[in-house]
C-alpha cells in the first residue's frame, strides 16, 4: 500500500487538481518545479538554517511524566508550540516563501481561519520583504481581533471576506479568486495539506520536519525510532501529516488522527469530516467533505477555529479509507477538559486544536510500556479568551 502521492497527484481515490483553467498555469508551474527546488542543496541549506536559527528548531520532545502516570503509558509531547509564532504553521510558510522567491514571485497571498496561518505568513513576508495579503472571513476577523492586529503590525494587509458564510472556506475561495486575477507575480501560500496537487504533498513535505526530528529524538531517548502510537489533531491536517509523514510505511506505528466533534458528531454542529463527510470536491481536490444531499458544502463547527474546516486533506482521506490511520474525534467539552488537564499536570497551556489530540488519551487503552507521542501543534496564548469563557479551571 502506498500512502504518498502518485504520479497523477492522487492518494488512492482522493486528491487530483480540480481547478478552473484560469488557475492551471499557476498550479502547473508549481507542480513542475516544487520537487526540484525542494531537493536543491542550496534550498535545503537556507530552509534548515531558518528553521534552526529563526523558528527555533528542533523543537523538544518532552516526556510528560505526570501525564504518563495518569494514563499508564510513556507519553511524549512534540513541542511544536515552542516554534516562533506559536505553532507548527511556520514550518510550511518558511518553505513556501523560499520556494516562491525561487519562482520569481513578488507578492504572497494566504487564507486564514483563526489567524495562525495568517500570522505565520505575515511573519515570513516581513522576513523576506515581500508584499502580503491575507484573506480572512469577516466573522473570523471579529472573533480573532488580536491576530488581525498581529498581521497588520507585521505589515500584512488583512482583507475581510464577506462572501458565503464569511469563514475559512470563503477566505480560501476569495484567495483563489484573487490568484485567478493575478496569476503571474503572486504565490498563494495554502496553510494546510489541502488544495489542488501539488499543495497537499508540498505542505506535507515541509511539515515532515516534525516526524524527522521525532525519529532522532525517540532513538536518543528510548532507543527506538518508532513509538507505538502517534496522536495528532486534524482540521485540514497539516500538523498531523507532519507528525505521521516519516512513519507512513512503518506499519508497527499506530497513527491516530483526532477530529473536532464540536457539540457532538450528530449535533448538527460538528467538524468531524471522516465521520460525517462523503466523497466530494472542494478547493481543488477530491476528498471527504461535509455536504448535504444536494452537494452543497456544510458549514462546520468547532470551538477551535483551526479545526473548523468542512473538508480534510486528501492524503488523510486516503489514510482513513485504507485504515492506515485510526480516526477519532473529541467534542468541544472533551478538548477543553484535556487542555486544562495538561495545564495543571505539566504547566503547558495548549492550543485548543492540540487539546483535541490530548482528549484522545482518555479514549485509548494503553499498555504500561507503550510509547505514545502527542503532537502538541500550538500554544494556548491565542485561546486565552476561550479558556476564560469556558471558566472551569
Partner 1 sequence: MNRLNHLFNTKKENILNVYFTAGFPELNSTVQIIELLSRHGADIIEIGIPFSDPVADGPTIQASNKRALDNGMSLNLLFDQLKDIRKITQIPLVLMGYLNPVVRMGVEKFCEKCKEVGIDGLILPDLPVKEYRDHYQETFKKFGLSNVFFITPQTSEERIRAMDEATDTFLYMVSSPGITGAKSYIAESQIDYFTRIQAMQLKNPALIGFGISDNNTFMQASKFSSGAIIGSAFINALAQDEKLENSIPLFLNSILKKS
Residues lying near partner 1 in the complex (CB under 8 A) are found at 16-22, 24-25, 163-164, 169-170, 173, 176-177, 180-183, 278-284, 286, 289, 291, 293-297
| In the complex, minimum distance from the CB of residue 79 to partner 1, in angstroms, rounded to a whole number | 36
Q: Catalytic pick from 78, 89, 133, 229?
A: 89
Q: Are 233 and 209 in contact (CB under 8 A)?
A: no
| In the complex, minimum distance from the CB of residue 185 to partner 1, in angstroms, rounded to a whole number | 12
- Using alpha carbons only, what angle is made at residue 329 by residues 233 and 376, rounded to the nearest 5 degrees? 25
| In the complex, minimum distance from the CB of residue 16 to partner 1, in angstroms, rounded to a whole number | 7
Nearer to partner 1, 68 or 186 (CB): 186
Nearer to partner 1, 2 or 184 (CB): 184
State how far the Cα of 209 lies from the Cα of 206, in Å rounded to an integer. Answer: 7
Q: Catalytic pick from 111, 246, 341, 346?
A: 111
Task: Indicate the length of the chain as a whole number.
Answer: 393
Nearer to partner 1, 71 or 178 (CB): 178
| In the complex, minimum distance from the CB of residue 289 to partner 1, in angstroms, rounded to a whole number | 7
Nearer to partner 1, 291 or 315 (CB): 291
Q: Which residue has the cell 525517540?
A: 218
Active site (annotated) includes residue 89:
yes
Nearer to partner 1, 22 or 153 (CB): 22
Q: Catalytic pick from 68, 211, 354, 377?
A: 377
Bridging pattern class, strands 131-137 and 157-161: parallel
Nearer to partner 1, 294 or 365 (CB): 294
| In the complex, minimum distance from the CB of residue 17 to partner 1, in angstroms, rounded to a whole number | 7
| In the complex, minimum distance from the CB of residue 80 to partner 1, in angstroms, rounded to a whole number | 30
Nearer to partner 1, 212 or 278 (CB): 278
| In the complex, minimum distance from the CB of residue 10 to partner 1, in angstroms, rounded to a whole number | 11
Neighbours of 64 (CB within 10 A): 22
Residue 309 has phi, psi (to 5 degrees) of -135, 135
Active site (annotated) includes residue 184:
no
Active site (annotated) includes residue 270:
no
Residues catalogued as catalytic: 89, 111, 377
Amino acid at each position: 500500500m502506498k500512502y504518498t502521492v502518485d504520479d497523477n497527484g492522487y492518494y488512492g481515490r482522493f486528491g487530483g487538481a480540480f481547478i478552473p483553467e484560469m488557475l492551471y498555469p499557476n498550479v502547473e508551474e508549481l507542480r513542475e518545479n516544487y520537487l526540484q527546488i525542494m531537493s536543491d542543496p542550496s534550498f535545503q541549506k537556507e530552509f534548515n538554517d531558518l528553521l534552526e536559527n529563526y523558528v527555533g528548531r528542533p523543537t523538544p520532545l518532552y516526556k510528560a511524566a505526570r501525564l504518563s502516570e495518569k494514563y499508564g503509558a510513556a507519553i511524549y509531547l512534540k513541542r511544536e508550540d515552542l516554534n516562533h509564532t506559536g505553532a507548527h504553521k511556520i514550518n510550511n510558510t518558511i518553505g513556501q516563501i523560499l520556494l516562491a522567491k525561487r519562482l520569481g514571485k513578488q507578492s504572497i497571498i494566504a487564507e486564514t481561519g483563526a489567524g495562525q496561518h495568517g500570522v505565520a505568513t505575515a511573519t515570513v513576508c516581513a522576513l523576506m520583504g515581500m508584499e502580503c495579503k491575507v484573506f480572512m472571513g469577516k466573522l473570523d476577523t471579529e472573533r480573532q481581533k488580536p491576530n488581525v492586529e498581529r498581521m497588520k503590525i507585521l505589515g500584512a494587509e488583512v482583507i475581510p471576506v464577506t462572501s458565503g458564510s464569511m469563514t475559512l472556506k470563503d477566505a480560501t475561495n476569495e484567495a483563489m479568486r484573487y490568484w485567478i486575477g493575478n496569476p503571474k507575480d503572486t504565490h498563494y501560500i495554502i496553510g494546510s495539506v489541502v488544495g489542488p496537487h501539488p499543495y497537499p504533498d508540498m505542505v506535507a513535505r515541509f511539515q515532515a520536519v516534525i516526524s524527522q526530528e521525532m525519529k532522532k529524538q525517540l532513538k536518543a531517548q528510548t532507543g527506538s525510532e518508532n513509538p507505538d502510537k502517534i496522536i495528532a489533531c486534524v482540521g485540514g491536517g497539516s500538523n498531523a501529516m507532519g507528525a505521521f509523514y516519516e512513519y507512513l510505511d512503518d506499519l508497527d506505528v499506530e497513527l491516530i488522527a483526532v477530529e473536532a466533534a464540536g457539540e457532538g458528531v450528530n449535533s448538527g454542529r460538528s467538524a468531524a469530516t471522516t465521520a460525517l463527510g462523503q466523497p466530494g470536491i472542494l478547493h481543488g481536490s477530491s476528498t471527504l467533505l461535509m455536504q448535504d444531499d444536494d452537494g452543497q458544502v456544510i458549514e462546520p463547527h468547532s470551538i477551535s477555529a483551526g479545526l473548523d474546516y468542512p473538508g480534510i486533506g486528501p492524503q488523510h482521506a486516503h489514510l482513513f479509507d485504507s485504515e492506515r490511520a485510526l480516526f477519532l474525534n473529541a467534542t468541544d467539552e472533551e478538548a477543553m477538559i484535556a487542555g486544562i488537564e495538561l495545564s495543571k499536570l505539566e504547566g503547558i497551556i495548549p492550543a485548543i486544536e492540540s487539546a483535541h489530540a490530548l482528549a484522545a488519551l482518555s479514549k485509548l487503552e494503553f499498555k504500561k510500556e507503550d510509547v505514545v507521542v502527542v503532537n502538541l501543534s500550538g500554544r494556548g496564548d491565542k485561546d486565552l479568551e476561550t479558556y476564560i469563557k469556558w471558566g472551569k479551571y
